[in-house]
């Protein structure tokens, strides 16, 4: 007997449906991959030359090529903009984006089209004009303004004396001078090379960002522990018991998920105006405020995860344990919790990851004070405010790496069954 169905009936192909699913799901996945790749590609992982002031007046409209006076034999860094194709020396040599050595006394920007504003950049490489050492503190004098600030880092290389080479933190700086500490056996050097370390090295060497990494790890871990401590009993009660007002409580538990983060921080700030003064002074704009702000948002995700976990565990297991002589507490710890280990791990992972990315409530309730309430999202915000885009992206990559490591560890320890 044939199973082809009624005469004239044809089963439609599943291919259009599956292709539609693949396109919709794949587009979201591609966006995620594209965002991460964009961060990875944007950063320049090589050391950068130390450059002086901009030599091109950007933004002006020109009818012909812009000519810039250069010093023969000196190195310059050129970056072509969207309206330029390169540089041409008076001798006819063509230079593209990157370092080049001037062979003549002037260069001309090659415009894509006459009349467009200048968007290219041309800056001289800074050269040393003096090296001095006093009490193991080196002071370098440059012939051009170097643009470095106190607390930034510089890489010293090819020094002709011991104790110089390496990444150094700038202790003091003026327009034409850079000071940093040498190793204890540092001697007078006659020549050396200078460059700016790549943004990842600078981020990992920065005391501010290292503090934010430390505070993020501590606060996220505390937030996770507190969230699980609250989520397990609430999830169990909401899953196993029926009582008056349950729908209202269920709605209240989801409020931190749907509220804008800034509103959560503002609400906490207003709440602590009515708290005892000693408690407010201890929490607000201090590190406990970071943990509390993270907890208020992350705990809601942990509660929801634990409730779903307990819903998936059949109640008959617990009922059998009760009929065999266990009380409610013994049945919970000996029967329910061993089966909820995967959900517990999932709730902890989600809480930790959510706490790591929290920014709005922390900014309002704890502030953005360096080496006090600064966590990784705050570091990214402060780097962006200071105009250091590459520093911000370096912090973002640290956050991505931290989240990826936590998720990989969680899957390795057993969460794979939940998310697979």
Q: What is the number of other CB atoms lying within 10 angstroms of the CB of residue 26?
A: 11
The tens digit of pLDDT for each residue in 356-397 reads: 988 889 999 988 888 899 999 998 888 888 777 778 888 888
Q: What 3-state class would DSSP assign to 325?
A: coil
Q: What 3-state class would DSSP assign to 348?
A: helix
- Residue 54 DSSP class: -
CA 396 to CA 40: how far, in whole Å? 10
Helical spans, DSSP H, in 196-260? 199-205, 207-240, 246-258
CA 44 to CA 202: how far, in whole Å? 12
pLDDT at residue 420, rounded to an integer: 43
**Mean pLDDT of the chain, nearest integer:** 83
Q: What is the number of other CB atoms lying within 10 angstroms of the CB of residue 229?
A: 11
- Report the first-to-last Cα separation within the chain, whole angstroms: 40
For residues 18-38, average pLDDT: 84
pLDDT at residue 222, rounded to an integer: 95
pLDDT at residue 419, rounded to an integer: 44
* % residues pLDDT > 70 (the chain): 92
pLDDT at residue 152, rounded to an integer: 83
pLDDT at residue 303, rounded to an integer: 93
CA 374 to CA 379: how far, in whole Å? 6
Query: Angle at CA 226, nearest 5°, toward 221 and 228?
Result: 95
Most confident of 284-293, 306-315, 318-327: 284-293
For residues 98-112, average pLDDT: 82
Q: Give the distance from CA 64 to its chain's centroid.
A: 43
Whether 326 has a pLDDT exceeding 70, the answer reads yes
CA 228 to CA 305: how far, in whole Å? 10
Whether 5 has a pLDDT exceeding 60, the answer reads no
Work out the pLDDT band at 319, boundaries 50, 70, 90.
confident
């Amino acid at each position: 007997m044939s199973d082809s169905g009624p005469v004239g009936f044809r089963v439609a192909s599943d291919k259009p449906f599956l292709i539609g699913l693949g396109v919709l799901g794949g587009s979201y996945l591609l966006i995620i991959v594209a965002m991460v790749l964009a961060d990875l590609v944007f950063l320049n992982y090589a050391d950068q030359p130390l450059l002086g002031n901009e030599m091109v007046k950007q933004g002006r409209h020109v009818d012909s090529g812009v000519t810039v006076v250069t010093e023969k034999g000196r190195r310059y860094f050129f970056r072509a903009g969207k309206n330029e194709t390169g540089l041409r020396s008076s001798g006819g040599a063509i230079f593209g984006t990157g370092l080049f050595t001037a062979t003549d006394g002037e260069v001309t920007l090659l415009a894509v089209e006459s009349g467009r504003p200048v968007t290219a950049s041309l800056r001289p490489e800074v050269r040393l004009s003096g090296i001095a050492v006093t009490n193991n503190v080196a002071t370098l004098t440059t012939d051009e303004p170097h643009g470095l600030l106190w607390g930034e880092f510089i890489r010293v290389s090819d020094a002709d004396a011991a104790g110089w080479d390496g990444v150094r933190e700038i202790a003091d700086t003026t327009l034409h001078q850079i000071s940093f500490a040498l190793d204890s056996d540092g001697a007078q050097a006659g020549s050396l090379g200078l460059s700016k370390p790549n943004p990842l090295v600078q981020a990992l060497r920065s005391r501010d960002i290292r503090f934010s990494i430390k505070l993020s790890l501590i606060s996220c871990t505390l937030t996770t522990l507190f969230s699980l401590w609250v989520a397990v009993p609430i999830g169990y009660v909401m899953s196993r018991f029926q009582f008056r007002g349950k729908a209202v409580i269920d709605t209240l538990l989801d409020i931190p998920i749907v509220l804008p983060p800034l509103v959560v921080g503002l609400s906490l700030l207003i709440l602590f105006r009515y708290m005892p003064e000693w408690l407010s002074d201890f929490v607000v704009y201090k590190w406990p405020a970071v943990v509390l702000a993270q907890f208020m948002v992350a705990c809601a995700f942990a509660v929801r995860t634990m409730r779903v976990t307990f819903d998936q565990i059949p109640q008959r297991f617990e009922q059998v344990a009760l009929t065999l002589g266990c009380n409610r507490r013994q049945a919970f710890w000996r029967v329910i919790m061993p089966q909820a280990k995967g959900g517990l791990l999932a709730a902890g992972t989600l809480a930790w990851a959510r706490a790591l990315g929290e920014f709005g409530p922390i900014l309002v309730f704890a502030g953005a004070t360096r080496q006090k309430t600064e966590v990784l999202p705050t570091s990214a915000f402060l780097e962006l405010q200071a105009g250091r885009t590459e520093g911000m992206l370096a912090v973002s990559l640290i956050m991505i790496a931290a989240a990826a490591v936590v998720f990989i560890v969680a899957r390795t320890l057993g969460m794979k069954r939940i998310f697979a």
